[in-house]
Structure 1
Amino acid sequence: MQSENPFVADFVKMMNSAAGTLAGMGREARDSARERFKEVLGDMDYVTREEFDAVKELAATARGEVESLKARIAALEAKSDQ
């Protein structure tokens, strides 16, 4: 049979409570930091992936049209030089 010292039992209970409290505080701090980070990012002018892809496609199309127009101008200039 094992005898239990009341001082040790109370100390163990207190340490378990402290560990639980610290773990809860850690979770709360982490969640709070995550929410703050989301707020900061939300205030910035970021675009969505869909918007980025749409503008990227428009830029590629415009680049192709510019190259086509450059070729036509070069052909017209060559024709007028003759």
Structure 2
Amino acid sequence: MSHEQQIQHSAAVKIQKVFRGYTVRKSVKKIVSIRTEVCEVERRLEDTELDSVRGVDCGVKELRKVVTRRVIAVQEKVDSIA
């Protein structure tokens, strides 16, 4: 490999490192944002005693199941990105 080719190769490697770093930081920011939202939803659910509501327990349980399935689906998407 000539000196010029080595310089070009080194420059290409540096560009790739910078780009990968950028994409990792961008992904981490998205994940942190999602985590913050999930924590907020979790806090709201803990603040609300949904199980103590009489007469609508069935509906509440079904709604919780739907939300849980969606959270798991989002988690699987995040895992597939990583």
Task: Please report the TM-score for the alignment, with normalisation by the length of structure 2.
Answer: 0.47
Structure having the higher Rg? 1
Higher RCO (CA-CA < 8 Å; seq separation 6+) = 2
